[in-house]
């Protein structure tokens, strides 16, 4: 740990923080228009961004960019969140069989990124995330609304419209992951804001998963510490 150094990831829909407190990092998330939390010094704040800048100013020299991450075959145009998640998984996950790592970031965008056990990027897939799908259905139709509850309905076919929407969207996400995951060759890691919900559904399908919701933030910390 590096005392008094805090981290921020500017996401598409939220701000993601890692606050150093009592010899450990506390992870929390705030709206984009949220003021700077107490005890966080903007002058020393280490940050990265995939979304639009927040309402406060950030020091340019403290920014982590994709080309700062030392992974083989990592394109500069890859999102910094995906690069940091790969770096963290490579350093955190126990992988004695040298399987590929399949990282599923369940955020505004559902991103699947695959890399080898040696840290070489294979590639990935991108799709609208859970809330992005729900909100787009409300935006582009007259009668469909974002459901107020997010539990996966037990039945396959539903009469209630909200349940039918949830079933369809969650099936589209878990189906994409299930179709892309080879348990004989891959280790599946989920992260991001909706990862606990998506993981809970995949577990019912007897899919072995490692859920690390704050994997990207852990990648920021690992990168900073390794650069010192």
Residue 59 in tokens: 């020091």
Do 54 and 37 form a contact (C-beta atoms < 8 A)?
no
Residues 138-160 have pLDDT tens digits of 999 999 999 998 989 999 999 99
Q: The pTM is what?
A: 0.95
Q: How far apart are CA 17 and CA 66, in angstroms?
A: 19
Q: What is the pLDDT averaged over residues 2-10?
A: 85
Q: Using CA of residue 175, residue 87, residue 92, residue 11, what is the dihedral sign?
A: negative
Q: Give the residue extent of every domain in the chain.
A: 7-63, 67-218
Residue 227 in tokens: 């650069």
Residues 50-67 have pLDDT tens digits of 998 888 999 999 999 999
Q: How far apart are CA 211 and CA 220, in angstroms?
A: 18
Fold of 67-218: Nucleotidyltransferase; domain 5 (3.30.420)
């Amino acid at each position: 740990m590096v005392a008094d150094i805090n981290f921020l990831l500017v996401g598409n829909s939220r701000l993601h923080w890692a606050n150093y407190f009592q010899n450990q990092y506390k992870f929390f998330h705030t709206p984009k228009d949220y003021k700077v939390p107490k005890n966080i010094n903007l002058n020393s704040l280490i940050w990265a961004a995939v979304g639009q800048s927040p309402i406060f100013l950030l020091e340019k020299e403290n920014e982590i960019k994709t080309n700062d991450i030392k992974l083989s075959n990592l394109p500069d145009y890859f999102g910094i969140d995906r690069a940091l998640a790969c770096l963290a998984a490579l350093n955190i996950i126990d992988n004695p069989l040298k399987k590929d790592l399949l990282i599923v970031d369940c955020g505004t965008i559902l991103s699947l990124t695959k890399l080898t056990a040696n840290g070489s990027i294979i590639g990935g897939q991108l799709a609208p995330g859970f809330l992005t799908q729900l909100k787009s259905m409300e935006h582009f139709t007259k009668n469909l609304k974002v459901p107020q509850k997010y539990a996966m309905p037990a039945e396959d076919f539903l009469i209630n419209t909200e349940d039918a929407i949830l079933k369809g969207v969650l099936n589209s996400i878990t189906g994409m992951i299930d179709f892309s995951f080879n348990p004989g060759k891959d280790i599946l890691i989920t992260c991001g804001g909706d990862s606990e919900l998506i993981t809970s559904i995949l577990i019912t399908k007897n899919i072995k998963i490692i859920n690390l919701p704050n994997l990207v933030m852990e990648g920021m910390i690992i990168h900073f510490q390794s650069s010192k």
